[in-house]
Amino acid sequence: MAKRTDANQSEIVRLLRDFGASVWVASNCGHGAPDLVVSYGGQTFLMEVKAEGGKLTPAEIEWRKNWRGNYYIIHSIEEAVQILIDGMEE
């Protein structure tokens, strides 16, 4: 079942693209998969978008528990961009 999209997701996607990132919106995948697959500077970041105060669903918790790569929960474009910047410094 596809999940609902948090209200801040479309703005975050637009601003990430303006920042120079490639963004694939995966929120319709369901099954707990993260909302966004973001590529920047040759790195890939999985991002779960939550509105302020939003919590992971049981499916999202399970998916995250089994993922072995980068996975971030973001609430704002500022958080998303900071993750990209920090990823460039590693």
- 18-67 pLDDT, tens per residue? 999 999 999 899 899 999 999 999 999 999 999 989 999 999 999 999 99
Q: Where are the beta strands (DSSP E) in the chain?
A: 22-25, 36-40, 43-49, 71-74
In the chain, the domains with their CATH numbers are: 9-89 (3.40.1350.10)
Can you read off the two tokens belonging to residue 87? 């990823």
Note the Cα 59 to chain centre separation in Å: 15
DSSP 41: T
Can you read off the two tokens belonging to residue 80? 């998303």
pLDDT, position 3: 58
Instruction: Average the pLDDT over each of 5-9, 17-21, 24-28, 74-78 and give the range with the smallest value.
Output: 5-9
